[in-house]
Structure 1
Amino acid sequence: MPVPDFLLALRDHVGHGLLPLVGVTGVVIGENGDILLHRRADDGRWAAPGGILEPGEQPARAVVREVWEETGLEVEVERLASVVGQEPHTYPNGDRVQFLDLAFRCRVVGGAPDAGGDETLEVRWFPPDALPDMSQRVLDRIANARADDPAPYFVV
């Protein structure tokens, strides 16, 4: 996944120090209940599409942009599904981050699945009872988006 220019500039100032960042995740649910996933180019793992909120960007617009960039599909945000602070993470290059993730439930309104970008190896729909091996945090985001409760999940 390419690092946004604003983050590269910030890293020039703070080095590998812990950065709090806002991330967005799009849990795209098809008409039949299937879940849209993409296989990430950076680690080869399946995940819901998402990325880093850029300066001045609204979260719902960011998730629409990220889903388009990673899957070729145009989506509409239906609701906020969860707001969760993740545990700090260290990348192989030593950069440390801690994400506040905003996961949104989305539905497709156009486009066609396309893995032609530099962030995605494959795009596929999966039945919710046959999801591939993924991190627990992604599975939690999917569960929260599929829940009937219109209120977003958050840790109290």
Structure 2
Amino acid sequence: MSVAGITVRGDGRILAIRRADNGTWEPPGGVLELHEDPRTGVVREVFEETGIKVDVRQLTGVYKNMNLGVVALVFRCEPSAGTERTSSESTAVEWLTPDEVRERMSEVFAIRVLDVLDGNGPHVRSHDGKRLIPAG
């Protein structure tokens, strides 16, 4: 199981990374450790990849990659401390506007951010790794 933290700053910008392994823009996150609860995992992953400490607010979505069988839990977070920095997993860390999220992120990652911003969650969605799969 994986987790991601959609960290929204007071001005509405969203914390994002450019991944070191494939160059794509995504919300920070990763795989939970064996005995780690999801909220603790989100805090750890966001900090490891960005240098930003967060407070986890709420679960906003559950997303399944139907090709890989990976389920991602996505949480809305707020920044609480820290300074942006890259890591071995990120080559860039930026605070993006919603329009920049739409431009830079693939559909399956942008929707996670947009779902947080719409406030109507938690959302449950499936995808094939590249595109959303319509419900039903």
Q: Give the TM-score of the pair, scaled to structure 2.
A: 0.87
Aligned residues: 125
For residues 84-143 of structure 1, give each alpha carbon's deviation from its aligned partner in whole angstroms, at most 9, with x where no partner exists. Answer: 21122xxxxxxxx4210100000100000011x210101001111222422211111101
Contact 2:98 2:114 in 1 (8 A): no
Counterpart position of 1:64:
43
Extract unaligned runs of 5+ from structure 2. 126-134
Name 1:44's counterpart in structure 2.
23
Q: Give the alignment partner of residue 91 of structure 2, picking from 104, 118, 121.
A: 121
- The question of 1:103 aligning with 2:74 is answered yes
Distance 1:123 1:55 in 2: 27
Code of the aligned partner of 1:140: I
Deviates more, 1:106-115 or 1:132-141: 132-141
- Structure 1: tracts of 5 or more residues without a match: 1-21, 89-96
Give yes or no for contact 2:26–2:109 (8 Å, CA) kept in 1.
yes
Cα distance, 1:152 vs. partner? 0.8
Show the counterpart of 2:131.
Answer: none
Sequence identity, in percent? 36
Question: Alignment RMSD, CA only?
Answer: 1.3
Which stretch of structure 1 is more off in the superposition, 55-64 or 139-148?
139-148
> Any runs of at least 4 consecutive aligned residues in structure 1 with deviations exceeding 4 A, and if so which?
none
CA distance in 1 between counterparts of 2:118 and 2:34 reads 30
2:130 is aligned to none
Counterpart of 2:114 in structure 1 is: 143
Change (3 A) 1:119 1:37: same
**Partner secondary structure for residue 68 of structure 1:** helix
